[in-house]
């Protein structure tokens, strides 16, 4: 603004100088008798100055216009750059928001950190898993976890790192596997709870220990009796027969135990398949009672079956369901003292759309402290061991067959000293149900 007004001033002064030169030439010509050439010569410096000034101004204007045009072009370019920078900054922010939202949606606990030890994302699953409020720095995370995340983020080698670790949390120790994935200067850690895996390993260890103990017991007695029989002459005939009978019983128990162990592990590992068909449980009950009649008579137990008042048809595996019935009946007969009664009842529960089978006995009942453990592998009530031989696997197998393979339920009610009632229920036959 200032330069343009000073430019205007210069133009006025130059034009004034030129006009003054012309006027003074004309004045001189009028006032004196100077010739035209002499007057022009006298005013020449003023005229030249004015002309030069005008030339300079014209050139200067052209230069200013060019400068302004170039300045305007540069400003345009800068504005375009600024707009594109703003656009890419916005795009980066949107991508970062989407990245955060995506990690937040994941059901697995996830933590993302950068190489400057800032925690960029700690999703809700991770907060719950670690019992922590969102943290801003890795130093607020458990040490082993923070160190693995920071190492992966800083390494910049694109190498994925995975480590099992125990984290000391306010709630206690937590076994976790951390899978760290590098992404540029970030590291994304996925946390996997190992509690269930460790629990399964512990249970497997327990099972192997109990199984080898339970298998060794009959094996040891068979071996001991075999050694005694080696010197057969020193043993009277009646005792020899007794030893042989015990050996046979023990080897039967051994093979039953191995069979039950195999069946349980096939069901637990998901290999076992049921041959589902329409099964009349009233018919199955009559067959089972018939099969157990001899055992009950031998022990002077009254074995009863309540008449079926309803049609009780289920979808299931006939052989497996019969095996469960036989197992419950056999237990009733085994643990009920002579003179007692074992009763089998089949009924339907239309509300739950299931068929319910019950085996009641007048035996010793179940001590309250044993109620929650009866269906565990190898669990046997210590004081009842002398009442009958067993494997401690029968009820566990029954539970696997009913709950895992038939989607049913199994349980027991008992009053100590008054007897027990074992029951199971399986879904009623459904029209159109597909056999497995
Ligand atoms: P077992 O081969 O030892 O009978 P089970 O798994 O069938 O194995 O039963 C586990 C334990 O439950 C038995 O050892 C026994 O102590 C107890 N039990 C099962 N049925 C009865 C019952 N009807 N009355 C009393 N105790 C029972």
**Ligand 1 pocket residue status of 366, Cβ below 6 Å:** yes
Greater model confidence, 89 or 398? 398
CA 274–ligand 1 middle distance (angstroms)? 25
**Ligand 1 pocket residue status of 393, Cβ below 6 Å:** yes
What residue's CA is closest to ligand 1, atom 11?
A: 380
**Ligand 1 pocket residue status of 392, Cβ below 6 Å:** yes
Provide the pLDDT confidence category of residue 4 given band limits of 50, 70 and 90.
low
Q: Is the pLDDT of residue 33 over 70?
A: no
- Point out the ligand 1 atom lying closest to the alpha carbon of residue 359: 23
**Ligand 1 pocket residue status of 380, Cβ below 6 Å:** yes
Q: Is the pLDDT of residue 110 over 90?
A: yes
CB atoms within 10 A of CB 360: 21
C-alpha closest to that of 354 among 307, 323, 321: 321
Greater model confidence, 203 or 280? 280
pLDDT of residue 41: 74
Q: Is the pLDDT of residue 61 over 70?
A: yes
**Ligand 1 pocket residue status of 324, Cβ below 6 Å:** no
**Region 373-396 average pLDDT:** 95
**Ligand 1 pocket residue status of 384, Cβ below 6 Å:** yes
pLDDT of residue 63: 86
What residue's CA is closest to ligand 1, atom 20?
A: 331
Q: Is the pLDDT of residue 435 over 50?
A: no
SS (H, E, C) 351-403: CCCEEEEEEEECCCCCCHHHHCCCCCCCCCCHHHCCCCCCCCCHHHHHHHHHH
Q: Is the pLDDT of residue 436 over 50?
A: no
What confidence tens digit (pLDDT) does each residue in 147-185 have?
999 999 999 899 999 999 999 888 889 999 999 999 988
**Region 388-408 average pLDDT:** 96
Domain 197-268: CATH architecture, name and number where available? Orthogonal Bundle (1.10)
Domain ranges of the chain: 2-84, 106-193, 197-268, 275-427
**Ligand 1 pocket residue status of 374, Cβ below 6 Å:** yes
- From 374, 396, 412, 415, mutation site for ligand 1 pocket: most ligand atoms within 8 A of C-beta: 374
**Ligand 1 pocket residue status of 332, Cβ below 6 Å:** yes
Mean pLDDT, the chain, integer: 89
CA 335–ligand 1 middle distance (angstroms)? 7
CATH 3.30.450.20 fits 106-193, yes or no: yes
**Ligand 1 pocket residue status of 320, Cβ below 6 Å:** no
> What does the block give as tokens for 47?
């005229």
**Ligand 1 pocket residue status of 419, Cβ below 6 Å:** no
Q: Is the pLDDT of residue 238 over 50?
A: yes
- Point out the ligand 1 atom lying closest to the alpha carbon of residue 396: 6
* Topology alike, domains 106-193 and 197-268: no
Provide the pLDDT confidence category of residue 60 given band limits of 50, 70 and 90.
confident
Q: Is 394 exposed, middle or buried (0-12, 13-18, 19+ CB in 10 A)?
A: buried
In order, the DSSP letters of 109-170 are -EEEEETTSBEEEE-HHHHHHHT----SBGGGS-HHHHHHHHHHHHH-S---EEEEEEEEET
**Region 177-194 average pLDDT:** 93
What confidence tens digit (pLDDT) does each residue in 349-380 have?
989 999 999 999 999 999 999 999 999 999 99
Provide the pLDDT confidence category of residue 89 given band limits of 50, 70 and 90.
confident
Instruction: Specify whether the CB–CB gap between 145 and 165 falls below 8 A.
Output: yes
pLDDT of residue 34: 62
What residue's CA is closest to ligand 1, atom 7?
A: 394
Using alpha carbons only, give the angle 172, 173, 178 rounded to the nearest 5 degrees. 135
Q: Which of 1-10, 38-47, 54-63, 228-237 has the lowest mean pLDDT?
A: 1-10
C-alpha closest to that of 120 among 130, 135, 131: 135
What residue's CA is closest to ligand 1, atom 13?
A: 380
CA 382–ligand 1 middle distance (angstroms)? 10
Rounded to whole angstroms, the Cα distance separating 324 from 399 reads: 9
Provide the pLDDT confidence category of residue 8 given band limits of 50, 70 and 90.
low
Rounded to whole angstroms, the Cα distance separating 50 from 20 reads: 9
Instruction: Specify whether the CB–CB gap between 313 and 355 falls below 8 A.
Output: yes
Fold (topology level) of 275-427: Heat Shock Protein 90 (3.30.565)
CA 155–ligand 1 middle distance (angstroms)? 60
- From 217, 395, 420, mutation site for ligand 1 pocket: most ligand atoms within 8 A of C-beta: 395
Using alpha carbons only, give the angle 74, 77, 82 rounded to the nearest 5 degrees. 125
- From 260, 371, 392, mutation site for ligand 1 pocket: most ligand atoms within 8 A of C-beta: 392
What confidence tens digit (pLDDT) does each residue in 302-314 have?
999 998 888 899 9
**Ligand 1 pocket residue status of 363, Cβ below 6 Å:** yes
The 8-class DSSP code of residue 405 comes to I
Give 196's contacts (C-beta < 8 A, 6+ positions apart).
none
pLDDT of residue 1: 46
Sign of CA dihedral 366, 328, 358, 404: positive
CA 390–ligand 1 middle distance (angstroms)? 8
Sign of CA dihedral 140, 141, 146, 150: negative
CA 322–ligand 1 middle distance (angstroms)? 18
**Region 213-230 average pLDDT:** 90
**Ligand 1 pocket residue status of 335, Cβ below 6 Å:** yes
CA 244–ligand 1 middle distance (angstroms)? 26
């Amino acid at each position: 603004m200032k330069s343009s007004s000073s430019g205007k001033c210069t133009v006025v002064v130059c034009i004034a100088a030129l006009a003054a030169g012309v006027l003074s030439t004309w004045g001189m010509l009028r006032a004196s008798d100077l010739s035209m050439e002499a007057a022009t010569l006298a005013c020449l410096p003023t005229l030249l100055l004015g002309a030069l000034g005008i030339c300079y101004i014209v050139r200067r204007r052209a230069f200013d216009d060019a400068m302004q045009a170039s300045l305007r072009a540069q400003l345009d370019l800068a504005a375009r750059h600024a707009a594109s920078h703003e656009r890419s900054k916005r795009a980066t922010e949107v991508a970062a928001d989407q990245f955060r939202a995506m990690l937040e949606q994941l059901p697995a606990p996830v933590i993302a950190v950068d190489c400057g030890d800032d925690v960029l994302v700690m999703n809700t699953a991770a907060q719950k898993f670690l019992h922590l409020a969102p943290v801003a720095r890795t130093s607020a995370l458990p040490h082993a976890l923070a160190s693995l995340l920071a190492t992966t983020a800083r390494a910049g080698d694109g190498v994925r790192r995975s480590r099992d670790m125990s984290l000391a949390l306010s709630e206690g120790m937590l076994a976790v596997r951390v899978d760290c994935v590098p992404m540029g200067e970030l590291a994304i850690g996925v946390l996997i709870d190992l509690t269930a895996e460790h629990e399964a390993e512990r249970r497997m260890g327990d099972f192997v220990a109990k199984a080898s103990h339970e298998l060794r017991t009959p094996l040891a007695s068979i071996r001991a009796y075999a050694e005694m029989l080696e010197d057969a002459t020193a043993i009277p005939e009646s005792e020899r027969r007794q030893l042989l009978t015990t050996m046979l019983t023990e080897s039967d128990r051994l093979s039953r135990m191995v069979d039950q162990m195999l069946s349980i592990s096939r069901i637990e590992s998901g290999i076992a398949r049921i041959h589902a068909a329409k099964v009349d449980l009233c018919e199955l009950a009559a067959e089972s009672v018939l099969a157990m009649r001899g055992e009950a008579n031998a022990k002077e137990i009254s074995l009863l079956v309540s008449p079926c008042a309803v049609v009780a048809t289920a979808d299931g595996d006939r052989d497996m369901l019969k095996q469960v019935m036989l197992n419950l009946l056999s237990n009733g007969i085994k643990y009920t003292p002579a003179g007692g009664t074992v009763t089998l009842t089949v009924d339907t529960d239309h509300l739950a759309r299931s068929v319910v089978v019950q085996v009641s006995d007048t035996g010793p009942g179940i001590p309250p402290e044993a109620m929650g453990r009866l269906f565990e592998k190898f669990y046997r009530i210590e004081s009842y061991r002398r009442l009958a031989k067993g494997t401690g696997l029968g009820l566990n197998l029954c539970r696997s067959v009913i709950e895992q393979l038939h989607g049913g339920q199994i349980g027991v009610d008992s009053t100590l000293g008054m007897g027990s009632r074992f029951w199971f229920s399986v879904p009623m036959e459904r029209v159109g149900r597909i056999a497995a």
